[in-house]
Structure 1
C-alpha cells in the first residue's frame, strides 16, 4: 500500500505510523528522518537542507521532493508500498507528489487523517513534554504548531477529499483503539469490493 499519514502534533502519528509499517511490511518514511540522515551523511541534498534546518526555516519544496523521490526510488523496501509521515505538508507538495508517483510506482492508495480534538492534543503534548523533556512541546509552541498545521492541512484535506483518497479516522482513545480503527479503514481500502463494516 502507498499511504500518507496526516495528523496534528500530538495525534499519535509516530506511534500509528510504526504500527502500520510493522503490520503491512512497508517502511514508514518521515521527512524529519530523511533530513537527519542526509545531513549526517553530508550528501549534497543534506548540505542544501542543513542551512534551512539550522536557521529554523522550512526546507524548500524542491529539496524535500528530491529527498522523498530519492528515498522512494532507492529503497527496495518501497516496492510493496510505503507510508509517508510529515509529507506532503502543503497543497503544492501534494500535487508534486502525485506527479512523481504517477511517473514511477503508481498513485497513492489512501491518505489517513488522524482527527483528534484540540484539547486532547494539547493534553497529550503537555504529558509528552513532561515525560520526554521536549522543548518543542511547550504550550505556546504547541499552540503555534497546531495553528500552522491547521492552516497547511485544510487545503490538503480538500485536495485528497476531492480525489477520494482521504480517510478520516477518530484519533481519540488508546493507541490500540486508534490502530483498530485505522486497520478497518485500510482493510476497506485494500478490498473495496467487500461491503463496508458498520
Structure 2
C-alpha cells in the first residue's frame, strides 16, 4: 500500500473546484468526486432514500423509481434547516463510500488522492485528509458560473450561494487557498508547487 497523501479539496459552489480537480487529475492524482458519490447514494442506497422520502416527501421519487434530484434540491435548499437535514441524512452514507474509495486508491499505489468535497468540513470528511485546500472566487463570478452551469435563474443561484458558508469559513480551516479566477496555466503552476511541498 502506498504512503499516500490525501488532500481535501473544498470551497463554495461556483468557485472552480471542478477545474482544480481536473488539473489535479492531469497532474496524475486520483480524484474522488463526492458529488458523484452522493448521486450514487441516491440511486442505490435504499435506507438513505427512504429517510429522504420521510423528510422531504414521497413525491421526490419519480414514476421510474429514481430520486427527482431537482425537486429534492429545491426543497432542501429552501431553508438552512432543510439543508442541514439533507446533509444529516446523506453524509454518513457518502462518507462510508469515500473512505472505501480512499483505501482502494491507496492499495493501487497512488501518491496523491484528492477528495473533492463541497462540504468537506461540515461532513467531517476532513478527518480522512492529511492536507486541506480551499478554492475561492469573487461572488459575481460565482453567480455567473452557477447560472450558466446549472441553467437556473439568478434567484435560485443566489439561494444556493446563501445556503453555503462565507469564504473565510473555508480559508481559515484549510492548509492552503487557491483563487478560482486565476488563468488555468497559473493555477496549474501553483498546484504543482503545492504537490511538491506536500510530497511525503
Normalising TM by the smaller chain, what interval? 0.5 to 0.7
CA distance in 1, matches of 2:51, 2:183: 39
Q: How many residues align?
A: 167
CA displacement at 1:14 relative to structure 2: 1.2
Distance of aligned partners of 1:155 and 1:174 in 2 relative to their CA distance in 1, 3 Å threshold: closer
Match of 1:187 in 2: 196
> TM-score under structure 2 normalisation?
0.66
- Secondary structure of the 1:27 match is strand
CA distance in 1, matches of 2:40, 2:140: 34
By relative contact order (CA 8 Å, sep 6+), the higher-ranking structure is 2
Distance of aligned partners of 1:179 and 1:144 in 2 relative to their CA distance in 1, 3 Å threshold: farther
Check conservation: 1:113, 1:169, Cα contact below 8 A: yes
Match of 2:105 in 1: 77
Q: Deviations over 1:96-152 (max 9, x none)?
A: 752xx3xxxxxx2321111212223234345x25xxx622xx22222232233234x
Match of 2:179 in 1: 170
CA distance in 1, matches of 2:9, 2:51: 26
CA displacement at 1:187 relative to structure 2: 2.0
- Secondary structure of the 1:24 match is coil
Match of 1:105 in 2: none
CA distance in 1, matches of 2:52, 2:29: 29
The RMSD of aligned alpha carbons is: 3.0
> TM-score under structure 1 normalisation?
0.67
Can you give the 5+ residue segments of structure 1 that lack an aligned partner in the other structure? Answer: 102-107, 192-198
Q: Deviations over 1:17-37 (max 9, x none)?
A: 12213423313222x322321
Q: Deviations over 1:130-177 (max 9, x none)?
A: xxx622xx22222232233234x644543x2xxxx5201122232332
Q: Within 5 A, what are the aligned runs for 1:41-80?
A: 41-49=44-52, 52=56, 54-55=71-72, 56-57=75-76, 58=83, 59-61=86-88, 63-73=90-100, 76-79=104-107, 80=110
